[in-house]
Amino acid sequence: MLCPGVSEEYGGVGADFRYNMVIAEEVSRLGLTGIGFSLHNDVTTPYLTNVANEAQKQKFLPRCVSGYCIIAIAMTEPGTGSDLQGIKTSAVDKGDHYLLNGSKTFITCGQQADIVLVVCRTNQDPAAGAKAFSILIVEDGMPGFERGRNLDKLGQKAQDTSELFFNDVKVPKENLLGEEGMGFIYLMRELPQERLSIAVSAMASCKSVIEQTVNYVKERKAFGKRIAEF
């Protein structure tokens, strides 16, 4: 169920994306909003499989497949939603590490995550545009990394959605995902698959609700008739 697209080399089965979608459909059909398989399989782990270097893959992917490592991705900020170029969280180059400061919100699996892929600004020049952004792998327990509230939501009550705070977090250079300044490009490559996963899950949920409703009105009786007969 976890990371079917990861190659056998790192403990996966090397399945194609259709396998992920079967899992996503079945999870949605049953209304299991708390287990987070789609985020893990379709959204976050692909950043490691497609962008991470060999050392990072060896360190994290087997643990992702086994379920011992949960990943979150932190893009949204209190003042920045869909406009990713408005991100203010910054990472300053200090030689052998980055000094990370900022905050994120509405982060799925934020409470449980063992690592967080943090989208941040590594180039503070406003003229840098999309090339200002990078992705850092922040690990649980790094000093200065704090989790805020588990946020209330309209639905998906079983799913943790959190605030995250980064106060002078020292992130070693080996935790840079891919190349510096390529973060926005990596997001543009991976986000279409996330959107597809969301759409498939939504369709499966809708289909399930319709099927449950039809079955209910055929069984439920009122005033001497089945509801469907009115």
Catalytic residues: 194
Give the largest Cα separation in the chain, rounded. Answer: 78
CA-to-CA dists, residue 183 to 27, 176, 177, 186, 191, angstroms: 30, 10, 8, 5, 12
Q: What is the CA radius of gyration of the chain?
A: 20
Strands 145-150 and 161-172: antiparallel
Residue 135 contacts residue 74 (beta carbons within 8 Å):
no
Please report where in the chains the tokens 């977090």 appear, as a residue. 169
Q: What are phi and psi of 145, to 5 degrees?
A: -90, 120
Residue 156 contacts residue 124 (beta carbons within 8 Å):
no
Residue 136 contacts residue 179 (beta carbons within 8 Å):
no
